[in-house]
């Protein structure tokens, strides 16, 4: 007589070896009013009328031992931040070893409302120090000065450390070689000494425009980086089965649909690189695929680049679709991991559909994953493969604590009962998705996940997907909760 299904499953459990016990493994710049000990001027009436406000530093006298680099600035003239016409003044630093030159430049620029000399220095070394402390817009720099740094060397140091600061070189030597060296060091302009005041003001105006643009670009970049750092670290959910045809793609597509909301946007990554069907289930086409993004993954993946590569469904779900089959082998595990981690800084949930083979990219997805959804069927070959995978899991660094077992296409009247499956796999079943070929086949052929069809909202299979969503959310909360030891340590610190 033939064996029953339950007897066959029991034989599988008895024949499997026990799993291995061990797994294989900048301080803000000082204003000149502070340096001279004089209070900063209040904003002009134009600035107040325009609604713009400029924070003024509190009056602070320089200590007796403080450097006296700025003592040559006219002591009776305050250092306003706003010019009479309401725009910000061009902040200047004068670096020259001759006192008369410094004073003449200060006097000449005193009557130009757009210019404000915020400091002076006598050597290239002092110029570098003052530049990094005061962060001026433009520096007027002499070439020949005593000390370890001449004007050209000081220019190179400043441009390396603060590239948005523009530098105008002054020299008595009208030498082409000097000009070439100055420009190679990063100087914006080159004037003969003594400069004509109109030429100097024009050079300062040109240089300040470049400086302002560079500063604006730098500030925009910093804000962008801060915004990216402020993003909540998303969770990566990998859907995997050791048996092909278990329904991972259908499950991943519908799981993404129910987990997506305006507060928790979702992106799906089609990790079945050769023949992925996520785009088919959503009836989407895209100019870009995961291959295009992988080719840039060796560098830092910029937010705009990643967004450009994603396909967008009308439901709000975004996806990174599979490449052409011949491109799949060119995507390695490091690139795939980098993509998943970058997406997790952009989306609260990253759902990864995988192939049943343990390829490098599938292993990379399991390694990055916060929760693994393991999909099985009721038939004995699938149960045997699931058992083999679970026995291998410690060696793959797959933590059982983050794994959820799902039985797909479940039929209580046929196949191995769910209780027996859980017993053999020694794993609790998180959800059972009932067999419903009519719903799944029609939704696949229409390119609309059944969880997005309001007419199917009462179907048991939709309720099962919702149940799986709740199980995933609960598992994520459990994993994020501090352990008893961590809670005890935190309690002791608080006490």
Distance in angstroms (rounded) separating the CA atoms of residues 383 and 386: 5
User: Which among 310, 342, 321, 315 has a CA at the least distance from the CA of 261?
Assistant: 315
Residue 184 backbone phi and psi in degrees, to 5: -65, -30
On whether the CB atoms of residues 288 and 309 are closer than 8 A, the answer is yes
**Number of Cβ within a 10 Å radius of residue 14:** 8
Q: Which of the 8 DSSP states describes residue 82? A: B
Question: Tens-of-pLDDT digits for all 495 residues of the chain?
Answer: 455 555 655 666 665 555 444 444 333 333 333 333 333 444 433 333 333 333 344 444 444 333 333 334 333 333 444 444 346 789 999 999 999 989 988 988 888 888 899 999 999 999 999 999 999 999 999 988 888 899 899 999 999 999 999 999 988 876 677 788 888 888 888 888 888 888 899 999 899 888 888 888 888 777 766 665 555 589 999 999 999 999 999 999 999 999 999 999 999 999 999 999 999 999 999 999 999 999 988 667 888 889 999 999 999 999 999 999 999 999 999 999 999 999 999 999 999 999 999 999 999 999 999 999 999 999 999 999 999 999 999 999 899 899 999 999 999 988 899 999 999 999 999 999 999 999 999 999 999 999 999 999 999 999 999 999 999 999 999 998 876 666 666 666 665
On whether the CB atoms of residues 107 and 80 are closer than 8 A, the answer is no
On whether the CB atoms of residues 259 and 394 are closer than 8 A, the answer is no
On whether the CB atoms of residues 291 and 330 are closer than 8 A, the answer is yes
DSSP class per residue in 104-138? HHHHHHHT-TTEEEEEEESSHHHHHHHHHHH--SE
Distance in angstroms (rounded) separating the CA atoms of residues 279 and 444: 11
- Chain centroid offset of residue 290 CA: 18
Say what the pTM is. 0.57
Distance in angstroms (rounded) separating the CA atoms of residues 152 and 133: 19
Q: Which domains does the chain have, with CATH numbers?
A: 32-44+56-228 (3.40.50.2300), 232-494 (3.40.50.300)
SS3 376: strand
Joined together, the tokens standing for residue 84 give 């009479």
The answer for residues whose C-beta is within 8 angstroms of residue 304's C-beta and 6 or more apart is none
Distance in angstroms (rounded) separating the CA atoms of residues 177 and 192: 14
DSSP class per residue in 154-218? HHHHHHHH-TT-EEEEEES---HHHHHHHHHHT-SEEEESSPPHHHHHHHHHHHHHHHHHHHHHH
- Cis bond upstream, residue 194 (ω within 30): yes
What end-to-end distance do the CA atoms of the chain give, in Å?
70
Distance in angstroms (rounded) separating the CA atoms of residues 212 and 255: 49
Residue carrying structure tokens 């450009």: 308
Per-residue burial over 243-264, b = 16 or more CB atoms within 10 Å of its CB, e = otherwise? beebbbbbbbbbbbbbbbeeee
Distance in angstroms (rounded) separating the CA atoms of residues 127 and 167: 11
Joined together, the tokens standing for residue 416 give 């191995």
The answer for residues whose C-beta is within 8 angstroms of residue 145's C-beta and 6 or more apart is 95, 96, 97, 122, 123, 124, 151, 154
């Amino acid at each position: 007589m033939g064996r029953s299904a339950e007897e066959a499953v029991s034989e599988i459990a008895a024949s499997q070896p026990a799993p291995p016990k061990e797994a294989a493994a900048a301080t803000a710049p000082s204003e000149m009013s502070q340096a001279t000990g004089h209070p900063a001027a209040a904003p002009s009436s134009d600035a107040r009328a325009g609604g713009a406000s400029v924070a003024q530093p509190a009056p602070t006298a320089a200590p007796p031992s403080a450097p006296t680099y700025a003592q040559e600035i006219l002591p009776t003239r305050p250092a306003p931040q706003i010019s009479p016409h309401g725009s910000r003044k061009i902040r200047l630093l004068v670096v020259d070893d001759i006192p008369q030159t410094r004073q003449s430049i200060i006097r000449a620029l005193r009557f130009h409302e757009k210019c404000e000399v915020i400091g002076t220095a006598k050597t290239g070394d002092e110029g570098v120090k003052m530049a990094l402390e005061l962060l001026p817009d433009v520096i007027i720099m002499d070439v020949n000065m005593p000390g370890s740094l001449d004007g050209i060397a000081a220019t190179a140091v400043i441009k390396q450390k603060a590239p948005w600061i523009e530098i105008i070189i002054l020299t008595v030597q009208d030498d082409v070689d000097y000009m070439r060296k100055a420009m190679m060091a990063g100087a914006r302009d080159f004037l003969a000494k003594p400069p004509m005041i109109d030429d100097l003001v024009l050079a300062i105006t040109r240089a300040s425009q470049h400086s302002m643009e560079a500063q604006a670009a730098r500030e925009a970049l910093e804000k962008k980086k801060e915004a990216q750092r402020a993003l909540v670290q998303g969770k990566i959910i990998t859907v995997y089965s050791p048996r092909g045809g278990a329904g991972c793609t259908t499950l991943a597509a519908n799981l993404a649909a129910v987990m997506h909301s305006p507060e928790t946007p979702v992106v799906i990554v089609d990790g079945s690189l050769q023949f992925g069907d996520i785009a088919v289930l959503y009836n989407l086409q895209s100019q870009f695929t995961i291959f295009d993004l992988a080719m840039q993954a060796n560098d830092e993946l910029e937010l705009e680049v990643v967004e450009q590569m994603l396909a967008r469904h009308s439901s709000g779900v975004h996806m990174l679709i599979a490449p052409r089959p011949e491109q799949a082998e060119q995507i390695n595990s490091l690139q795939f991991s980098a993509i998943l981690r970058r997406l997790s800084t952009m989306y609260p949930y990253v759902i990864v559909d995988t192939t049943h083979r343990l390829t490098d990219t599938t292993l990379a997805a399991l390694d990055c994953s916060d929760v693994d959804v393991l999909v099985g069927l009721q038939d004995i070959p699938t149960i045997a493969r699931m058992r083999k995978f679970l026995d291998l899991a410690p060696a793959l660094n797959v933590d059982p604590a983050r794994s959820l077992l799902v039985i797909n296409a479940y039929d209580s009247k046929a196949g191995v009962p769910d209780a027996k499956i859980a017993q053999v796999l020694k794993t609790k079943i998180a959800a059972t998705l009932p067999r419903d070929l009519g719903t799944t086949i029609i939704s696949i052929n229409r390119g609309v996940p059944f969880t997005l069809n309001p007419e199917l909202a009462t179907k048991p299979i939709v309720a099962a997907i919702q149940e799986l969503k709740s199980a995933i959310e609960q598992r994520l909360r459990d994993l994020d909760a501090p352990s008893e030891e961590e809670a005890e340590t935190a309690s002791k610190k608080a006490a």
